[in-house]
A and B are shown apart, each in its own frame.
Chain A
């Protein structure tokens, strides 16, 4: 079922938690709300759930106006960050809770409830754990129980608040993949909150980036990464290196460092680039002369992360190079090399600009 959020806003006392927000979620879409803490993402999620009341605006599930519908009747499934399982009930009873709470007329027979619960536990691969209590399960298992519980009533929309936030990295990865599969299988419309950009990019069909109660950008992960709408989005979506200097005749100078910046006017400018947008070389070329010293080496997976320092840099740069380049250049700590940017990003103009000069 689609969700249409129109002009939803919220103020707590004197703090503006949400500026008026518009968001259309298509049927079957998996949407990530991404932002730092205090950005209003959880507030928005809880308003969609009905756990908080908005000050103004409307929410529709499909054609149904749910703005003033009580949580109980909204037909949502909600998964909490810390699972919020009923600690005194077995896994089975947790999942069956919603079915048992139905009015007598709609309540399935206990046989049907049993079948349905066992199906759900099968789906989250916890059939053998039906009689256990939440405290006897690992964090990942508890979160799967919470998910099965939320899906038991076949909700119109599934809402997840930092669903994997309390789990360790490996379990998180597994659960993400698993949720993705489950979503592909069942096609529920889903909205989830996260502060982890990797999680948002990996799981979402589209990502809503929020800060200070505002929506900064709504886009597919691909577009978000390549065409960030503004500096906040760019900085939030990954590590960023800064280069500040004076531009004269399309040449930026900063101490003894120089780099060509086509189509940039004269004056003081700040340019940004990602770690993987830095190439290292033995020699400078005529368009980029950026001498750096390698001060730290961290091999991580397919790449080697380097920390680069220089007199002309305020704070060190982070660079990511392939193992092949690392070996070819025989990089060691203290080695002096030249950085050659493949792209530079500029956010001090009305529209963000990416400079990709052929260095």
Chain B
């Protein structure tokens, strides 16, 4: 008896299509990035990398990521805790609102920030008179990135924490544990993997975000260019090799992220089978 869809011919055909599509749409572009970046040899690659604007872009990207990830880590945990541990009016609405950054185009998010904090914006006048610059400077980039990446951690945690329930926490409180002890010794170890996964995704998006950042950054070379913006600008300057050099950095980061994610999943799977 052959199950439906299990005929060897069908199987081979489907696998073949999947592999071909993966190669065409995923592997080939990735290879192309590195091929283009290294087209003129490794010396040119290094030269492009050590270009002062590129170095500045790398620095800014790192700064934005370093600020964004911890903020969204704390925010995500807090939000997931709130939504899964308490009953309050508007809980469902809040759960839906969390997804807004996923639902709207990042460009729109950027425009909204511009509307709020820009020179002619609602808060812009006040900020300007106090000499605080948010738009076209790193604080604006950080704000936009935080907005775009804020659902990742919460989205990872909420289903898990819902499935796990609060029994262990209740047990801990009957044993006299304080709220902080419960979080540190009971909740955190239970959600560790999902949390780490959420952080990896947040990190990947924070590094690579283009749309929202491009609106609020103002593209000042060496000052407000993050790596993705730098890639675009170099490309528009007809510096293909330079653009691909920066792009290769982003691609490398993506590969590292994927590797980290795979390693985590592998470890989780191993734990499952061990118990």
Contact = CB atoms under 8 A, between A and B. Distances in A.
A72 B175 CA distance: 7
A101 interface: yes
Interface in A124-162: 133, 135-136, 146, 149-150, 152-153
Interface of B: 167-168, 170-178, 181, 185-186, 189-190, 275
A156 to B, nearest CB: 12
B174 A76 contact: yes
A232 interface: no
B172 A101 contact: yes
Contacts of A77: 174
Contacts of B174: 49, 51, 71-72, 76-78, 150
A86 B178 contact: no
Given A72-B177, A136-B275, A88 B190 contact: yes
Contacts of B178: 72, 101
B172 to A, nearest CB: 7
Interface in A48-69: 49, 51
10 contacts: A51-B174, A78-B170, A97-B177, A97-B185, A101-B172, A101-B176, A102-B176, A135-B275, A146-B171, A150-B175
A80 interface: yes
Nearest to B181: A101
A49 B176 CA distance: 12
Contact of A78 (B171, B186, B189, B190): B171
A147 to B, nearest CB: 12
A80 B170 contact: yes
A123 interface: no
Contacts of A149: 171, 175
Interface residues of A, number: 27
A226 interface: no
Contact of B167 (A80, A88, A133, A135): A80
B134 to A, nearest CB: 42
A78 B171 CA distance: 7
A106 B271 CA distance: 36
A152 B170 CA distance: 16
Interface string A63-106: 00000000111001110101011111000000001100110000
A133 B275 contact: yes
